[in-house]
Each structure stands twice: as structure tokens, then as C-alpha cells.
Amino acid sequence: MNSNSLKISNENLKRRLNAERRFKFYGVIAISLALIFVLILFTNIISKGYSAFYRTLIEIKIEFNDKVQPEMFKQMSDTEINKLDLYSFSKKNIYSNFPDIEKKSDKKKIIKLFSIEFEEEIKIYINKNKNNLGNTINLYISASDDIDQIHKGNYSRDIPEERRRVSNFQLSIYDELVGQNKVKFEFNLPFFSRGDSREAELAGLGGSLIGSFFTMIIVLLLSFPFGLFGAIYLEEFSKRNRFTDFIEININNLAAVPSIVFGLLGLGILLNTFELPRSTALVGGITLSLMTLPTIIIATRASLRSVPPSIREGALAVGASKVQTVMHHVVPLALPGSITGTIIGIARALGETAPLLLIGMVAFIVDVPSSPLDPSTSLPVQAYLWNDSAERAYEEKTSAAIIILLSFLILFNLIAVFIRRKFETKW
Amino acid sequence: MENKVKVCVENLNVHYGEKQALFDVCMDINQNEITALIGPSGCGKSTFLRCLNRMNDVIDICKVEGSIKIDGQNIYDKDIQVEKLRERVGMVFQKPNPFPKSIFENVAYGPRIHGLAKDKTELEEIVHTSLKKAAIFDEVKDRLDETGTSLSGGQQQRLCIARAISVNPDVILMDEPCSALDPIATAKIEALMEDLKKEYTIIIVTHSMQQAARVSKKTGFFHLGNLIEVNDTETIFSTPANDKTLDYVTGRFG
């Protein structure tokens, strides 16, 4: 062999190396593109949505008078205070914070700076502090959604007045309040606890969070046991014949069926035939279970199949019955894979919107559901609903709902990865 | 002096679907002896072995005809419980296959499902004796709660032997138990078999003719699904009656 023959590259080798380099380059391009899109998506959503996690409050002074005395609240229970009519008292007190304004139409505009539930917020404050109320109190109440948006800078002041929801007069009052240091931000806790509302500053994710939670519980309770035992039966016990082949093909097809078809099924069978309550997490959960079931069955069967036959033989050879072999040895080894599949299936169900629209979970529901039998929405449906609303303030809420949804999906997937890493058995 | 016949196989025919794997096999296997089965790959010796504890039952397309009598009882009778049969006929496989559980659990599993121990101390007793019989107790006694899969290949195989004898079988089937092991581990297993034959009847399938010659009293030679010849091991390796056997043991084919 010529001593240089390992160094001189010929044409053929060059071509092969070039092809390899090209192939790597395509791969890098594809990955980078995907990452860029993900980055754009996340920056867009987060930059639009983060401001929904805090809210604007305005400080006002309340003076008690002869009719409404601080002492009278001491003997009252919470419900009694809630039943009181303090509307005109509250309104007059808000007006008296702006002594220079006398025109009635201007006073109306002043009230519009505050959340429509100012009376409730004052009652809540009184309720909390009923034993140590002075003759005057200072408290923060929520700003209206328009002022909130202006204070967050989401709403430009440069728009001509006739197209602006906040008049020049209101803006000047707002500027005055800011000058007096009476406007502040606070973490938006009500956003997580309240139900939906037509008033943007009151609308919260609470209802849809609980709705999604109930729906996912139903999905988990239905699809995991059925999926697990279905897969165990099909993989370990059923004889292979035309009928089981037919079932297998159908399960694989079912996994590819568009989700809206399951919604039609839920509408036709669960609502119309069985007359289950419309718009509820129960119906949503059953519908989504049907969608999740094939995913779980396929994942469980794959992990059952990856348990080496030698383990089964080992158990059978010491006299374990078929059921003992499967339950004592095969299933425990397949369970991590099955749980991973279940979590991913549930994450998919959590983000599913289309089937829920058909079974009525898209309704406008103000109350936070207290059981799976109450009407409710779910996270993605709430995002869809808010996206349709006209007010500017819903835009940040839409993105915030999506942020929460994505956080849950990422959390679910992380748990799935963790379980797979932690419990998988290597052979 | 001949030992008494433990297993009596008569006219055994086995089909895998259309394909016939064993043809009219008749063989007697003596108690407290090691019987070796040799032959080229695919000759049916493993199939034969797996008929003896009905491991072929799990294969849907497998059909077994003929009779296999252990202590005079046909194990293919309808009222035979395979779980009970496999308690009496243990098996050790080609590749060590301990359960991915603790060493203790590996051995305790059989006694537990058959209810052989009344309480925990009895179960421990059984596990310890089985590990001692399998000549692995001294190596693992301090780490019984480590997983069985963490042992070396040879130790795993001895653990599997301990698992097989934990349910107190009469017969132990070994399907090429040393093919995945190095010579030192193989020597240990072979020495162990010498000990075990005092209590158990051992049938071993092997690809190594030296191993068959070393350990077994009798040897059967399989070829293309037929049992060509079965005789004392010495005779098989020196003056076999059949030319095919001679060709195989002298390395002319296979």
C-alpha cells in the first residue's frame, strides 16, 4: 500500500463526505426553523398575556355618615352585610372623592373609571374589617377594564377621542389620580378564582380551570382503567383471530379520527339519547375519554409488547398461572409506559376544543362549577370565547388563558418524561 | 445398576401449524440422572424439552400428540393442572431471566404463589436453602434485596436455578443453560448439576458436545425432528449405532 493512499481523497470519497455534510446541514436548518417558530409563538403569547396577571386598583376615601355607621356592621353577619343596599352610599362617596366635579354627566363618567362591582368591593372591605372601622376609611377598588388597559399601556392614548373608549375628561381625571399616587398594580388573584363575565375586569379563569379539572378527572377515571385492561386483554389473553384483528384495526383507526367526530358522537348519544346534562364536565369527560382511549390502549400495548418474553416464561416455569404471570410480572414492567401514554393522552384531551363546542361546553357560564354535573367551560374553550369578545381587555386574557394551558401541557409532558426516565427498566 | 424410569415419552408428535417439529419420539428418562439432548439447530430438542412441562401450551399454533408420562401419569391428560405440573417440572432457560425484582423475591415468588410457606420465617428458610442448593448463597447472602438483574451472567443463571428448585420439583429442564456464559461460570453450573442430580432428575439441551460428554449419563441425538439415537453417553460419543450420530459427534456436520 502506498503510504499516501490514506491521505489523498478521490472524487468518490469527496462526494460521499459532501453528501454527509449536506444532510447534517438540512437537519440543522429544520431544527432551527422549528425552534424559531416556537420562540416566536411563546414571545408573542407571553408578551401579550403577562399583563393579565396583575390588575389596576384605585384608592378612594369612604366617609361614614349618620345612616351608615361603622358600629352597625359589628353585629351583622357576613350574609347580612352582603344583603345591604350600599349602592347610593358607595356612589356618593366616590363622587365626594372628586369635589370639583359637579355636572351630572361628568359624575357618570367618573363612576365609569371604576369596576362595575365597586359596591361589592366596598362591602367585602367592610366585612373584613368590620370590628375596627374608623369614621373614614381608605381602600383600593378595581379600576374599570379600560383604565386598567390604559394603565398597563395596552391601550394607546393617541387615538382620536371619538374612537377612544376613554374620554379626554376621564383621561385627565386618571392622570390626576396617577399624580396623587392613588393608582397601583396588584397581583390579579381574582383572575384565577372568578368565573367568566361580560365585564372584562371581572372575567376570570376560575370557572374554566375547575371545568377542565373535572373534565380531566372524568377522562382519567374512565380511560385509564378501560384502556389498561383493554390493552392487557388484547395483548396477553385474546386469541388472534379475525375478530381481534378487526378490533385492532379499529382501535388504530379510532386514534386517527378527527376529534370533532367524537363531539358529534357525544352530542348524538350522550346528550340526545341518554339525555345527560348539557354543557357539563361529565359529558365533556366521557366524550374526551373516547378520544383518549385508543391512545392509551396503543401506548399500553406497545409497552406490554416490550416486556421480554423471557420474563413471562420465567414466571410460567415456576407454575404461575397466566393471570399471575401477567399481573405480577408483565403489567408492573409495562405500567410506566402505560402511565406515560395516559398522561400524554390526557394532555391532548386538555387542549381539545372542537368536541366540547358540540356538546355545549362553549356556553357563557358565570358560576364556577362545584361538581362535574354543573355547566362549565374548559381552558381552551375559554380562550376561544375571550378571543371572540370585542373589548380590548379580553385580548390579554385570551393570551393569559393560553399561557396557563401551555403551562399545564408542559407540566404534563415533563411528568411523563420524568416517569419514563425514572421507572423504565433496561434489559 | 439402572435407575428407575422417571419420564416416559411415547410417540410424541408436535406440529407448529403446518410444520411438523417432532416425529414419533419415544424416550425413557431415568430418575436422578442427567440426560443430555444434542443435535444441530432446529432439530427439535428444545421443542421436546418444552413439551415436558407444557411450555408449548402458550403457543397457539402448537399441537402435541402422543403421551408423556411422569411417574406413570400422562401430563397431557385433560384434568392435569399445568400450574401443578410446572411446580413439579422446573425449567432453566438459555438466557438467564431473573425477574427485575430483588434476589429474595426472585426465589420467594414460586413458594409464595404455591403457598409452600406458612409464614415469613418458613419462606426465608426456603429461599436460603434454595440459594444454598444452587451454590450462590455465599455470594449473595449480604445483598438479598438487590435486584436479581444486577448480578453477573453466571450468578443470574444460578439464581434462576435457585428459583426453579425453590418449589421443590422432581425434574429440572435446562435449555442450553450455559450458552450465554463464560467457561468459568459454565464449570460452576456443571459442578452444581452434579450435586443436583442426587435430588432431581435433570434433562439438559446443549450445543456443546464436550458438555454433554462431561455431565450426562445418557445422551439423545436429535436430527430433523427425529430422535435418532439414545444411549449411554460413552457409547454415543465412542461407538454410536447410527452413522448420522457418528458424523455429528465427530464434527462432520452440524
Cβ-based contacts of B90 with chain A (< 8 Å): 317-318
Residue A238 in contact with partner chain B when CB distance is under 8 A: no
Q: Is the pLDDT of residue A5 over 70?
A: no
- Whether A26 is covered by a domain: the verdict is no
Confidence category of residue B130, pLDDT binned at 50, 70, 90: very high
Alpha-carbon distance of A395 to A52, in angstroms, equals 9
Q: Name residues 314-333 of chain A within 8 A of B (Cβ).
A: 314-321, 324, 328-329, 333
Whether residues A169 and A235 share a domain: the answer is no
Alpha helices in A129-241 (DSSP H): 145-152, 168-179, 190-193, 206-232
Alpha-carbon distance of A333 to B97, in angstroms, equals 14
pLDDT, residue A241, reads 87
Buried b (16+ CB within 10 A) or exposed e, A299-337: bbbebbeebeebbbbbbbbbbbbbebbbebbbbbbbbbb
Residue A233: CB atoms within 10 Å: 13
pLDDT, residue A84, reads 86
pLDDT tens-digit series, residues A247-256: 999 999 998 9
* Shortest Cα distance, chain A CAs vs residue B51, angstroms: 12
What pairs with residue B28 in β-bridges? B8
pLDDT, residue A220, reads 95
Alpha-carbon distance of B113 to B156, in angstroms, equals 21
Whether residues A110 and A233 share a domain: the answer is no
A360: left (phi over 0), alpha (psi -120 to 50) or beta: left
Residue B252 in contact with partner chain A when CB distance is under 8 A: no
What pairs with residue B220 in β-bridges? B37, B230
Q: Which of A239, A311, A425 sits opposite B60 (nearest CB)?
A: A239
Domains of chain B: 5-249 (3.40.50.300)
Whether residues A158 and A242 share a domain: the answer is no
Q: Is the pLDDT of residue A4 over 80?
A: no
Tell me the mean pLDDT in the region A175-190.
93
Cβ separation of B100 and A239 shorter than 8 Å?
A: no
Beta pairing class for B89-92 and B19-30: unpaired
Cβ-based contacts of B160 with chain A (< 8 Å): 314
What pairs with residue B63 in β-bridges? B15
Q: Out of A187, A219, A247, pick the residue that ends a domain.
A: A187
- Whether A299 is covered by a domain: the verdict is yes
What pairs with residue A185 in β-bridges? A56
| Residue recorded with cell 373535572 | A214
Whether residues A230 and A89 share a domain: the answer is no
Whether residues A225 and A156 share a domain: the answer is no
pLDDT, residue A427, reads 53
Q: Is the pLDDT of residue A1 over 60?
A: no
Domain limits for position A95: 54-187
pLDDT, residue A3, reads 58
Whether residues A304 and A348 share a domain: the answer is yes
- Whether A5 is covered by a domain: the verdict is no
pLDDT, residue B211, reads 92
The three-state secondary structure class of B70 is strand
Residue B17 in contact with partner chain A when CB distance is under 8 A: no
* Shortest Cα distance, chain A CAs vs residue B116, angstroms: 12
- Whether A40 is covered by a domain: the verdict is no
- Whether A44 is covered by a domain: the verdict is no
- Whether A407 is covered by a domain: the verdict is yes
Q: In whole angstroms, how far apart are CA B189 and each of B163, B183, B195?
A: 14, 10, 10
Contact B157, B134 (CB under 8 A): no
pLDDT tens-digit series, residues B8-67: 999 999 999 899 999 999 999 999 999 999 999 889 999 999 999 999 888 888 999 999
Contact A386, A380 (CB under 8 A): no
Whether residues A165 and A236 share a domain: the answer is no
Contact B114, B167 (CB under 8 A): yes
> How many domains does chain A contain in total?
2
Whether residues A213 and A293 share a domain: the answer is yes
Residue B26 in contact with partner chain A when CB distance is under 8 A: no
Q: Is the pLDDT of residue A300 over 90?
A: yes
Q: What is the ipTM of this complex?
A: 0.91
Whether residues A182 and A210 share a domain: the answer is no
pLDDT, residue B98, reads 94
- Whether A410 is covered by a domain: the verdict is yes
Give the chain B residue whose CA is nearest to the CA of A330.
B99
Cβ-based contacts of B58 with chain A (< 8 Å): 312, 316
Give the number of beta-carbon pairs within 8 Å between A and B: 62
Cβ-based contacts of B113 with chain A (< 8 Å): 318-320, 324, 328
Whether residues A401 and A336 share a domain: the answer is yes
Residue B150 in contact with partner chain A when CB distance is under 8 A: no
Please give the DSSP secondary-structure letter assigned to residue B136: -
Cβ separation of A314 and B99 shorter than 8 Å?
A: yes
Q: Is the pLDDT of residue A387 over 60?
A: yes
Alpha-carbon distance of A160 to A355, in angstroms, equals 43
Cβ separation of A318 and B166 shorter than 8 Å?
A: yes
Q: Is the pLDDT of residue B228 over 70?
A: yes
Contact B236, B245 (CB under 8 A): yes
Residue A242 in contact with partner chain B when CB distance is under 8 A: no
Which helix (H) or strand (E) element contains residue B106? helix B103-114
CATH of the domain at A386: 1.10.3720.10
Tell me the mean pLDDT in the region A166-170.
90
- Whether A10 is covered by a domain: the verdict is no
Confidence category of residue A426, pLDDT binned at 50, 70, 90: low
Cβ-based contacts of A313 with chain B (< 8 Å): 55, 91, 93, 97
Q: Mind giving me the DSSP string for A235-265? A: IIIS--SHHHHHHHHHHHHHTTS-HHHHHHH
Most B CBs within 10 Å, among A239, A240, A318, to test the B interface:
A318
pLDDT tens-digit series, residues A115-152: 999 999 999 898 888 888 888 889 999 999 999 999 99
* Shortest Cα distance, chain A CAs vs residue B177, angstroms: 13
Cβ-based contacts of B99 with chain A (< 8 Å): 311, 314-315, 329
Residue A55: CB atoms within 10 Å: 23
pLDDT, residue A251, reads 92
Most A CBs within 10 Å, among B105, B109, B112, B147, to test the A interface:
B109
Least Cα distance to A213 among A367, A371, A355 occurs for A371
Alpha helices in A84-167 (DSSP H): 87-96, 104-111, 118-128, 145-152
Q: Is the pLDDT of residue A424 over 90?
A: no
Q: Is the pLDDT of residue B254 over 70?
A: no
Whether residues A331 and A393 share a domain: the answer is yes
Alpha-carbon distance of A39 to A398, in angstroms, equals 19
Residue A142: CB atoms within 10 Å: 24
Tell me the mean pLDDT in the region B78-87.
92
Cβ separation of B99 and A311 shorter than 8 Å?
A: yes
Least Cα distance to A394 among A154, A215, A208 occurs for A154
pLDDT, residue B174, reads 94
Residue B163 in contact with partner chain A when CB distance is under 8 A: yes
Residue B137 in contact with partner chain A when CB distance is under 8 A: no
Which helix (H) or strand (E) element contains residue A399? helix A393-423
The three-state secondary structure class of A402 is helix
The three-state secondary structure class of B142 is helix
Tell me the mean pLDDT in the region A41-67.
92
Q: Which of A312, A318, A425 sits opposite B163 (nearest CB)?
A: A318
Cβ-based contacts of B98 with chain A (< 8 Å): 314
Confidence category of residue A75, pLDDT binned at 50, 70, 90: confident
Whether residues A254 and A391 share a domain: the answer is yes
Q: Name residues 28-87 of chain B within 8 A of A (Cβ).
A: 53, 55, 58, 60, 83-87
pLDDT, residue B123, reads 94
pLDDT, residue B1, reads 54
Q: Above pLDDT 70, what percent of chain A?
A: 97
Q: Taking all residues of chain A, what is their mean pLDDT, rounded to a whole number?
A: 91
pLDDT, residue A302, reads 94
Tell me the mean pLDDT in the region A61-88.
86
pLDDT, residue B168, reads 92
Give the chain A residue whose CA is nearest to the CA of B100.
A425
Confidence category of residue A8, pLDDT binned at 50, 70, 90: low
pLDDT tens-digit series, residues A211-243: 999 999 999 999 999 999 999 999 999 888 899
0.90 cut: is pTM over it?
Answer: no
Cβ-based contacts of B164 with chain A (< 8 Å): 317-318
Cβ-based contacts of B116 with chain A (< 8 Å): none
pLDDT, residue A407, reads 95
Q: Name residues 274-313 of chain A within 8 A of B (Cβ).
A: 308, 310-313
